[in-house]
Structure 1
């Protein structure tokens, strides 16, 4: 059986040694260069190893990268270069592409799975007059994000993605200036406080990065059990109370005519703190933040909100036709941050 395994590996192009070790030649990606990859244990899903690049004419070794983890997929019995299914799919251990848009192909060499969520990570070597030179700045783009960066050669843009859990993502774009990647834009969406979503956009205006922030609420979120909503024609805003099924807490939000959240409460409240008071008899929910006192009412067909700020009370009557839900239905459940009277 062991002799048969050695024979099969040899037929596939492997140079086999004992204890599951194997070295494989990577070819077909360049007329000038070829590669080798060593796996310390082919019986495991991943193993330690190294990747090397050689000059085809001189047989001189040009690049050597040690890897704490490597894995492989065979294609027609061969290990292929230049497969990069960004961000989470299959990645070759050796990529040969032009990353700095100078018309010369560079190398990305896998050194393990050190990018976010155990994604593949690479070291970048840029082509120069004196051979291939390690680039720290390009390498960081292939280490500190999720998998290998993507390259748009037509527009000469490099893009990265990074995430934290299910609900925080950041997408960034770079140009290459003086042979270094330069950030020109980023887009971040933060849904960690679902159903509240915060979007941040940063763009280079030629002198500095300009940031814009927008906050929205997704009332169709699966985390919202019930909600009470109405429109105030006087100020063209929506008033919203909602019950978050995840933490059994009541929340308040006010949105403008563009759907952007201008205020939500509580922003960061301790679990089971008495943020709201519910007067069932009068159909009122009240709360106070550092700036104002709020009373939302829903009684005998009348809906609205009273806001007391610096001793003056502002009366915002709700449009009854815009009503969605009711305070009574919303607060049938005993919520942990509501005092019931």
Structure 2
């Protein structure tokens, strides 16, 4: 009998030892918080987060969760840590979310955002009370962690993703204590691996206007670039060897693609020129210029000096499937 009682005592002791309530007291002169962790040995634990009024110890907000996570700083749990998008995020965030000059609360309610990331319930200050906001809460639930706030522009921004190659970035303004989108940009890596497809929506005169475009990410293409040079207004031409396929890419100053051609080319070794035809225009590429010919005119494009990378002579040593040598 004594052995049974002792075993029960040990189990209860372990259970009680794993539970802990942390006081959070670094964010306000008016309020303090508590974070209860049911099992401190687990990364994610059942628990709750609460906010109290100093002096009266009145409970103002309490949120329970099946998955609370926490980090200690010199043995303490701290509020207002927000390392976006994937870093530490505190259980209590105390700041102005709706740009009315009064601080509000975001309380961690689990790991309900993208990829099992932290999520929050948002409570807006109304006088001496805090009112739950479904609209702001959706921004802290449906994306990757808590949203970011730019007080200078009064813009709230969010990010979400799917896998390695699709991201969405959104911007919101606030009206009547409710956020509304002003810009939504979705980017997705296409089959080339260094070209991204964009779907962008912008609020114009009260309506969202859509546009589609592509961008080139040339940062890791050093070994794949056959020839490249820059023109006026920061426009640039690239010839890229992509898995034995030659691509012609012409971009503007923001890396937006103005022309992408992945089809048939002709290479002249004697003249060291590369040519292709798009619609009714023939493009002839030299090591130091591009000539564009239509049925009625011819235009020569000279690059800016000292912007050239590579040479067409490299084509003679390659076997690219879409070039007629």
Q: Quickly name the TM-score band, shorter chain normalised.
A: 0.7 to 0.9
2:157 to 156, 159, 178: 159
Q: 1:165 to 1:102 in 2, by over 3 A?
A: same
Q: CA offset at residue 117 of structure 1?
A: 3.5
**Cα separation, 1, equivalents of 2:229 and 2:75:** 64
Deviation string 1:190-213 (CA, Å, 9 cap, x unpaired) is 445432234555432332233454
Alignment map for 1:255-294 (pairs within 5 Å): 255=250, 260-264=256-260, 287=263, 294=264
Find the counterpart in structure 2 of residue 316 from structure 1. 283
Query: Are 1:217 and 2:184 counterparts?
Result: no
In the superposition, the TM-score normalised over structure 1's length comes to 0.69
Q: 1:147 to 1:257 in 2, by over 3 A?
A: closer
Q: Is the 8 A contact 1:242 1:330 kept in 2?
A: no
Deviation string 1:120-156 (CA, Å, 9 cap, x unpaired) is 2111111225832221211111122222112223432
Q: Is the 8 A contact 2:266 2:323 kept in 1?
A: no
Query: Are 1:108 and 2:75 counterparts?
Result: no
Query: Are 1:178 and 2:176 counterparts?
Result: yes
Query: Are 1:303 and 2:273 counterparts?
Result: yes
Deviation string 1:97-119 (CA, Å, 9 cap, x unpaired) is 12112233211011122323333
Q: In proportion to residue count, which structure has more strand?
A: 1
Deviation string 1:169-196 (CA, Å, 9 cap, x unpaired) is 4432211101100112244544454322
Query: Are 1:208 and 2:207 counterparts?
Result: yes
Q: What is the count of residue pairs matched by the alignment?
A: 286
SS of structure 1 residue aligned to 2:93: strand
**Cα separation, 2, equivalents of 1:100 and 1:156:** 9
Q: Please tell me the root mean square deviation across aligned C-alpha atoms, in Å.
A: 3.6
In the superposition, the TM-score normalised over structure 2's length comes to 0.72
SS of structure 2 residue aligned to 1:44: coil
Q: 1:256 to 1:50 in 2, by over 3 A?
A: closer
Q: 1:35 to 1:167 in 2, by over 3 A?
A: same
**Cα separation, 2, equivalents of 1:155 and 1:307:** 46
Q: CA offset at residue 299 of structure 1?
A: 2.9
Q: In proportion to residue count, which structure has more helix?
A: 2
Q: 1:166 to 1:58 in 2, by over 3 A?
A: same
